[in-house]
């Protein structure tokens, strides 16, 4: 029995289509089972490890950064972000950033 290239390609396409149909059926059953378990145990997205990135982002936002600069009036700056007005004015008046560094 001589098999041609076109016959093999056709058979591959048929098998791929068959595999996709089987996968879809199995996937539907798996999803139904997972939903049942989630309802049964009252699981949340966080319990399953989803939404971890959002929680990690919150932790980073809540982390305190130590103050590195302070003037005599009690104004402070961590050294991150845009320079505050009080420091910009002091620098314009001839002061140095090191003059405000907390040691």
Would you state the pLDDT for residue 26? Answer: 95
- Is the confidence at residue 38, as pLDDT, over 80? yes
* Residue 90 burial by Cβ neighbours in a 10 Å radius (0-12, 13-18, 19+): buried
The pLDDT value given to residue 92 = 94
Measured distance CA(46)–CA(54) in Å, rounded: 10
Q: Which residue has the higher pLDDT, 2 or 40?
A: 40
What is the C-alpha separation between 10 and 7, in angstroms, rounded?
5
Q: Where are the domains of the chain?
A: 5-62, 69-100
Q: What is the pTM of this model?
A: 0.41
User: In this predicted model, what pLDDT tens digit does every residue of 58-94 receive, in sequence order?
Assistant: 665 677 889 999 999 999 999 988 999 999 999 999 9
Give residue 52's pLDDT.
59
Q: Are 69 and 100 in contact (CB under 8 A)?
A: yes
The pLDDT mean for the chain works out to 88
């Amino acid at each position: 029995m001589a098999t041609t290239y076109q016959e093999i390609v056709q058979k591959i396409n048929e098998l791929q289509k068959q595999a996709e149909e089987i996968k879809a059926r199995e996937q539907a059953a798996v999803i139904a089972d997972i939903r049942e378990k989630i309802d049964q145990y009252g699981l949340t997205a966080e319990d399953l490890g989803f939404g971890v990135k959002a929680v990690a982002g919150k932790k980073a936002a809540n982390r305190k950064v130590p103050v590195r600069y302070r003037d005599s009036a009690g104004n402070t700056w961590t050294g991150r972000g845009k320079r505050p007005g009080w420091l910009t004015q002091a620098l314009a008046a001839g002061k140095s950033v090191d003059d405000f560094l907390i040691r």
